[in-house]
């Protein structure tokens, strides 16, 4: 065979097939000249490097500290968050009982659902994170003194701190419990979409806030919620971060 022809590659059945330049450039079935996009990589295809215990512990401390600081800004500016934190803030404004105690009490009924839905490991992480947030939310106003606070700044920085703190916790398979657990349980038990349940509860909290807060505070609370969710949405995408605890 002349040099102009491609070399042949023998097959098991004795037949020959011409080897193409594409075949020659392949290694392990993947063209070396073409790399798969990150979005196309499934989590199970990526080598998993589990978080160590000390990494989970540090993440839990940092995440709850950031969320507690965000809640402090919200509380100082009389703003509202969503989910269980929103219920605790609303109860604080009505009763005068601090956020930390209210948040811990509101979460208690949801641990039973967490055990059934998520298992003991997730429930234990959630309980510890909830307890830490309750403690830090109580202590943070004693650690810092806010003499003056612009409500718009409070909404943006508070929402940002909540989003970053939750992102840290999410990446270490930790939750702050509450309504999210209820939504997942109702989805599994009755087929209700968890997102719609969460949205319905948040809308209920928003409706109740009209009885307590002025329209400006409610509008700024919505701004804070948008900021928080944008941070989570932009930084928590499949394939961008694979962490296992």
At 152 the pLDDT is: 97
Residue 29 has pLDDT above 60, yes or no: no
At 9 the pLDDT is: 45
Mean pLDDT, range 167-192, rounded to an integer: 81
C-alpha neighbours within 13 Å on the C-beta side of residue 177: 31
Lowest mean pLDDT among 22-26, 72-76, 145-149, 187-191: 22-26
Which pTM does this prediction carry? 0.73
**Spatial contact of 107 and 96, defined as CB atoms under 8 Å apart:** no
Mean pLDDT, range 15-19, rounded to an integer: 46
At 229 the pLDDT is: 84
- What is d(CA 112, CA 185) in angstroms, rounded to the nearest whole number? 10
- What is d(CA 78, CA 220) in angstroms, rounded to the nearest whole number? 10
Residue 243 has pLDDT above 70, yes or no: no
For residue 187, what are the contacts with CB-CB under 8 A and spacing of at least 6?
A: 193, 194, 197
| Residue 31: its H or E element | strand 30-31
At 190 the pLDDT is: 84
At 43 the pLDDT is: 47
Higher pLDDT, 104 or 25: 104
Residue 150 has pLDDT above 50, yes or no: yes
Q: Is 177 left (phi over 0), alpha (psi -120 to 50) or beta?
A: left
Higher pLDDT, 201 or 142: 142
Q: What's the chain's average pLDDT?
A: 79
Mean pLDDT, range 19-39, rounded to an integer: 45
At 35 the pLDDT is: 43
């Amino acid at each position: 065979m002349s040099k102009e022809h491609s070399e042949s590659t023998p097959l098991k059945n004795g037949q020959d097939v011409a080897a193409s330049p594409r075949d020659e450039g392949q290694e392990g079935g993947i063209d070396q000249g073409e790399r798969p996009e990150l979005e196309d990589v499934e989590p199970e295809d990526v080598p998993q490097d589990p978080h160590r215990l000390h990494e989970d512990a540090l993440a839990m401390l940092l995440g709850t500290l950031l969320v507690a600081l965000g809640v402090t800004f919200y509380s100082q500016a009389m703003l509202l968050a969503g989910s269980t934190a929103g219920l605790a803030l609303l109860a604080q404004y009505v009763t005068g009982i601090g956020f930390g105690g209210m948040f811990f009490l509101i979460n208690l009924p949801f641990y039973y659902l967490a055990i059934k839905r998520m298992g003991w490991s997730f429930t234990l992480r959630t309980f510890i994170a909830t307890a830490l947030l309750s403690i830090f939310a109580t202590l943070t106003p004693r650690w810092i003194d806010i003499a003056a606070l612009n409500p718009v700044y409070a909404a943006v920085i508070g929402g940002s701190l909540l989003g970053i703190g939750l992102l840290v916790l999410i990446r270490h398979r930790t939750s702050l419990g509450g309504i999210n657990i209820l939504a997942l349980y109702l989805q599994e038990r009755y087929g209700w979409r968890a997102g719609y349940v969460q949205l319905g509860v948040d809308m209920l909290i928003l409706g109740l806030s009209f009885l307590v807060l002025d329209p400006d505070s409610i509008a700024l609370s919505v701004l804070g919620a948008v900021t928080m969710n944008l941070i989570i949405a932009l930084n928590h995408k499949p394939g961008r971060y694979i962490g296992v605890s």
